[in-house]
Structure 1
Amino acid sequence: MTLSRHTFPKVSISKTASHIAEAESDGIRLLCRPSTADFPLRRYHRNQHQYASILLGQLYWTSLVGTIQDESRHIRDLLNPVDSLNEETRQWNIENGLDPELGIVDIDIFLHTWNNRALWSYLPDFCRLRCYPLEWSRRPPVHGSDYHYQPRYWESVDRKTPEALLQVIWGLRKGNADTDIIEDTEILFESVACVFNRRVGRLHKSYGNGASEIGCLHPEDTLSCYQKLEDCLVVQDKEGYRICRDGLRNKHALFGYPTGWLPGPYEEEACQLASETPDVI
């Protein structure tokens, strides 16, 4: 089936009280109230999202019986237009001096979440953080134009300390450091995560979102993934590394972590490891 951008009606981007009431009555938890101040999306992005809404709805039903690795014609017929849409958006962003990833539809996160009931509650906050229509957090996602954006939400949270510790831990693992040093640093990270999560909880409460877990650290899962990534590097398991890193990336994106918290692709990390390993004579 060929999809056209001109086969669906345009939706007004104005936000109304009825829209908000409808979203909340459908069980969509809002991380914060709508704000138009410093809203980064342009009309172009919102138009692109209107087209993407059709693809997301169809992909939702397809994902119930397939996966992103499924090479069936139906899956590819839906994923290819999403890829093309994203490429168009990146090019437009670059031409207009914007962040290349602004407004990009991260379809992997939706596919990952739809098939895991335990993650469904994260979708509303994920959509808000990525400047997606809130209606995309429904199952199935529907066409909509409710954007809930708060640019200064995280300003009072120190994200640099966890990021610095994770970079140290990853560097120690790649450098084959003493196990005691790695474990001591991981214990420090877990302690920092405990304090960090309390502060994030207080932040959410200050916005009236006490039930939200977005942004909270999950140190056990993260550190376990770091160890698996190290193991894959050591045995040169490129595919295993990719699968583990993709899973970690999905979690980081869904939980609202900065991209800097994620180790690099296999080629990048393997190259660095090789350059740092002294030649044996």
Structure 2
Amino acid sequence: MITSPQIVASADGTPIAYESTGDGPPVILVGGAFNDRTTVSALAATLAPHVTAIAYDRRGRGDSGDNAEAFEVEREIEDLAALITAVGGRVSLFGHSSGGILALEATARGLPVERLAVYETPYVTGGLRPLPAEGTGEQIRALIAEERRDDAVRLFLTEQVAVPEQMVDAMRASPAWPFLVGLAHTLPYDVAVCGPHLALPAARLANIDVPTLAMAGAASPAWFPAAAEAVADAIAGASYLIVEGQDHGVLHNPEALRQPLLDYLR
């Protein structure tokens, strides 16, 4: 587990906690839903010492502050901007899942990014999975307001992520479930980052003019590779890569990402 973080203030004053490891070009690791800096720390260690890997707590997580009542996606873009300034002024980004969408949005909006890599951004293309029910984000926020955090996590997983109910039942019986419930209050942020309909914003992605790598796991449901390929198609010159033997839980097997990321980001 990463400890003793450094702190940078975002534009609205919210403290953002981060840790750096390794030596070389800086790469910020952006986790998705149910992730804080501890869940990307193994990947940071795997990439070091060839790069300086920066793991951070997105707002509302870990040692970072929060401003839930005034949350907008722009606040998370500002958090990344402050972090980029703190670690040298220009970086590469790696984003996992909704963290990949956040990295894409930050780059499209002109943050100083050298290279960009994303893994399984959860856009829905080609009707390959059901879309979230209308109002899912609002229901999640209402459940959190009622302190029904367990129900909020279940709704997010089944509706927003399309995890089968029997798999969610198995997750609820696992030791990891309390960690997920502990981050329930941040789920509306991920819904906002992804957009209510999980639609790929091709016109906005076309603004990205930095080298980009879109990845997916060969063992993932078909909608993840399809989304990765669509991301690569939307960005001029972007590359598309399938990581053999991996699924959406690739952060638990960071060695699988080591060579693809180092080959691309260095």
Q: When the two structures are superposed, what TM-score results if normalisation uses the length of structure 2?
A: 0.26
Larger radius of gyration: 1
From the two aligned structures, give the one with the greater helix fraction. Answer: 1
From the two aligned structures, give the one with the greater strand fraction. Answer: 2
